[in-house]
Structure 1
Amino acid sequence: MTSEIDRRAVLAGTVALAAAASAPAWAAPGPFDAVLSRDGKQRGQIPGYRTIADAMAAAPQRDAGLFRILVPRGEWRERIVVTKPNICLIGEDRSASRLVSNSLRKDRRPGEAATATVLVRAPGFQAARMTIANDFDYNANMPAEVDFDRTGASGAQAQAIMLDIGSDRAIFHRVDITGFQDTLWAEVGRVLFRACLISGNVDFIYGGARALFDRCTIVSRLRPNKDFNGFIAAPNTNVHQPFGLVFIGCRLTKEPGVAPHTVALGRAWKRQRTFPDGQYADPDAVGQAVYIRCWMDDHIVPEGWYRMHYYPKGGGMAFIEPEAARFFEYRSFGPGAGPASPRRRMLTPQQAAKFTEKAIFDGWHARPAST
């Protein structure tokens, strides 16, 4: 009799576990403050909203802890501007919970520098277990090549994410961030990308932020019928800022069709800015990008880095060479890990030891939301 009771208890427990596993995320107990809902109705005890913008409008303006918005499975087409602190988007499924737009440079709203699917202008933003994408058709709209840039001068920028003025202490955990040109613009503040996938081709991780990419997968995408597929990083780090774009324990991979030696680790960007005496490239932009213990496939060019053009004060065009920027590697491995050279410079163990999360974030301890 006892064994029969035990058997029934085990079966009941198994059924309960199976039901819990198949139940929608909103049905499980959890600290969600809002859920996306096609009809705007609540799900379980969680208030429902048709758009993320509507859900964010219900968040407190003051710093009152994370405001967690559940993004269910499905494609949610929306561009959002985050202006309240501590907004947290959590997907029900990393690949199936998709926030998407297809805007590009010419679609910028008045006063905006970017066309990002997610534009962050407040501290404490987080995203976890979801996909954030810009699916503008880059392949059908590739800009024409020019003599100073094999990827074209401009015209196909379409960000998935921009961290703009006001952003700080942002965290992306297990998020797929996908696009082509200019996928991720981390311009200001401190930001952690942990166990994320980031894809693109031309300058697809760029900006002046203190950004740590911890065990991320960096995917270079194909530029069809072209003999060069682009650049991974394009930092415009301020010369007085000790850390820029730092990749630690990442995997640099490629889409099928991306040929060997057709992608550079990066190039330095001197962003055009407006000064009292005119508009020209920021003279204090001396980009930093560092790859530490990263695996690299054979798409990486042997010389590692390329130069980039800019427009200095006084007119004309100039170039910043990799040697004039702060580009370094440490213990790269895999088919794309080339030997040290004057252009492909390596850190010493003592120098590499300085690139810690504590140092990069200047005392901020990044804690991703529980997912």
Structure 2
Amino acid sequence: MSSKFFIGIAAALCLFAAKPALAQSYDVVVAQDGSGKYTSVQAAINAAPSNGTKPYRIFIKHGVYNEKLTIPQDKTFLEFVGENVANTILTYGDGKGGTSATIINADDVFFKDLTLVNSQGAIADGPQSQAVRTTRDRAVFFNCRFISGQDTMYLVRGKTRAYFLACYIDGNTDYIYGDAIGLFDNCVIYARDRLDGSTGGYITAASTKPDQPYGLVFRNCLLPDNHGITNYTLGRPWQNDKNTRDNELRRAHNKTVFLNTKMGSSIKPEGWSAWNDGTDTTIITYAEYNSRKFNGAPVDVSRRRSWTQQLTAEQAAPYFKDENILGDWNPFKTWADLPAKSTAAGQQAISNLLARDNGGNMLLQFNTSWPASDASFVLYKSDDKKTFKKADQLKAGKNDVIAFQFKDKAPADGQHSYYVISATQGKQTFSSDTLDVSGGKLFPMKKGR
């Protein structure tokens, strides 16, 4: 089964009513249709000035840019602005895994309104397939999507800092990990179901350095329910296991904290995991403050691991001060296009459309990037990938659900059916990628099935 990002059904759908004004001041425009200076994002990076001290703004028009991106160390103060997060997509994958789609080797880089994908996550649960890897200091992301399977986001090098505001991040294994400081405000952290139907996974894998007071910090984030196939713990301690040699590879003092989190039943009651029986839990800081269900009721934390913490308001207070976590760096002063936290909001989009075997029929499962209260979804189907006809529709309730599904008869072995979903939520209109379903090649509902 294969899928590729699709923009439009016959006539192109306008994904959002409001678009960035091209009259804004950009230093360079990238466009696949040739209307910009470059057709490649990497070409724009290569041509950007070196050792910049003020933002150099690169506007990227709608399109799927299939290229492995590397921002060299001397390309500082680059700002990447997508025309729209739902369909301005930076993607790479070789079908084997072990790749990094976007590598940031420069200080002071800002991504806005963009989707970063490692396409390996659409065909398999692993191996390691990073959508983004940061190796330097002061990376900022606003209204971005990060999509892959295993190891989606790797934040490298202790004491370097990365800030995320109103972003969507998904994966299935250790998909936010590393030894850097990562601060996440108002983000959706979506623990998606594993493609092979396995029932367990891990969200984070911090490997915080011993002399570093903060690791991964999540404030006011959402952890919505998936389709119910795979349940997750909030994290496990990378580089703190029986194979870690304290005299060669310094054992990590893993630090991950979730504050004011809304989480669903996809999170296991125990909350957290050790790596193995060699994990030193005495040096781990795994903590929560005010974890709530989506209906506002407190999460039952009575079965959380004994070596994890439930913080008091006094203990949690330092985590709400940016200067404690980020030090003397204020990303809001550096980047004029980074909105205030109080007004920042992510834009809606559809992700992870796939077909699962359901005993001769199939389930077409997908999720939105943000809660889809009152959204309407229409499923279109085609046998030739040219003419699409309405096949079904559904209406979301007034709730915080983001995982949805349609049912349809599976195509016969060797036959193909093509699907696309269009959706509206308030004034926003958005569509899915086109899904090519081949009979006999559906993902399982359970592992081994």
Equivalent in 331, 354, 359 of residue 324 of structure 2: 359
Residue in 2 aligned with 1:98?
89
Q: Does the C-alpha gap of structure 1 residues 104 and 337 become closer, same or farther in structure 2, counting only changes over 3 Å?
A: farther
Distance in 1 of aligned mates of 2:85 and 2:144: 7
TM-fit CA distance, 1:28: 3.0
* CA separation of 1:349 and 1:72: change in aligned 2, threshold 3 A: same
Change (3 A) 1:286 1:138: farther
Distance 1:267 1:105, change over 3 A: farther
Q: 3-state SS of the aligned residue for 2:164?
A: strand
Partner of residue 232, structure 1:
203
What is the Cα deviation at residue 337 of structure 1? 2.7
| Mapping of residues 162-177 of structure 1, within 5 Å | 162-164=133-135, 167-177=136-146
Report the alpha carbon displacement of residue 105 of structure 1 after superposing the two structures with TM.
7.2
Q: Which residue of 1 aligns with 2:262?
A: 295
Match for residue 57 of structure 2 among 57, 68, 86: 68
Aligned-partner Cα distance in 2 for 1:22–1:218: 26
Return the structure number with greater relative CO, CA threshold 8 A, min gap 6: 2
Aligned position for 2:299: 337
Q: How many Å separate the matches in 2 of 1:61 and 1:304?
A: 45
Aligned length: 309
Q: Find the partner of 1:285 among 239, 242, 252.
A: 252
2:315 counterpart of 1:346: no
The correspondence for 2:181, drawn from 206, 210, 233, is: 210
Partner of 2:212: 241
Counterpart amino acid of residue 329 in structure 2: W
Is 2:24 the counterpart of 1:30? yes
Query: Which structure shows the higher strand fraction?
Result: 2
Q: 1:303·1:338 contact (CA, 8 Å) conserved in 2?
A: no
TM-score scaled by length of structure 1 = 0.76
Deviation at 1:240, TM superposition (A): 0.6
1:183 aligns with 2:152: yes
Q: CA deviation at 1:183?
A: 0.3
Q: Deviations over 1:341-361 (max 9, x none)?
A: 524421122221111211100
Report Cα offsets for 1:295-332 as digits up to 9, x if no partner. Answer: 111011111111114xxxxxxxx631555411111111
Q: What is the distance in 2 between the residues matched to 1:253 and 1:227?
A: 18
Which residue in 2 is equivalent to 1:254? 225
Taking the TM superposition and a 5 Å limit, the aligned residue runs for 1:9-24 are: none
Distance 2:92 2:168 in 1: 18
Query: 8 Å contact 1:105–1:157 — kept in the other structure?
Result: no
Q: TM-score, normalised by structure 2?
A: 0.64
Report the more deviating stretch, 97-106 or 180-189. 97-106
The gaps in structure 1 that reach 5 residues or longer are 1-20, 43-47, 108-114, 143-154, 310-317
Shift of 1:62: 1.7
* 1:320–1:72 Cα change, 3 Å: same
More helix by share: 1
Inter-partner Cα distance in structure 2 for 1:326 and 1:103: 36
Are the counterparts in 2 of residues 128 and 369 from structure 1 also a CA contact under 8 Å? Answer: no
Q: CA offsets, 1:155-200, max 9 Å, x none?
A: 6110000011xx1111000101111100000113111100000000
Distance in 2 of aligned mates of 1:58 and 1:242 = 38
Q: Which residue of 1 aligns with 2:118?
A: 134
Q: Distance in 2 between matches of 1:270 and 1:77?
A: 33
Residue type matched to 1:163 in 2?
T
For the residue of structure 2 that corresponds to 1:354, the secondary structure is helix
Matched, 1:195 2:166: yes
SS in 1 for 2:114: strand
Q: Hey, what's the Cα distance between the residues in 2 that align with 1:67 and 1:320?
A: 45
Q: Report if aligned partners of 2:32, 2:61 keep a CA contact under 8 Å in 1.
A: no
Query: Is contact 1:267-1:308 (8 Å) kept?
Result: yes
Residue 333 of structure 1 and its aligned partner are, at CA, apart by 0.7
- Conserved in 2, the CA contact under 8 Å of 1:243 and 1:360? yes
SS in 2 for 1:254: coil
Distance (whole Å) between structure 2 residues aligned to residue 290 and residue 87 of structure 1: 30
1:16 corresponds in structure 2 to none
Give CA deviations for 1:232-259 in whole Å, capped at 9, x if unaligned: 1100000110000000000011332435
1:157 to 108, 128, 135: 128
Aligned-pair RMSD on alpha carbons? 2.7
In the alignment, the residues of structure 1 paired with residue 68 and residue 213 of structure 2 have an alpha-carbon distance, to the nearest angstrom, of: 33
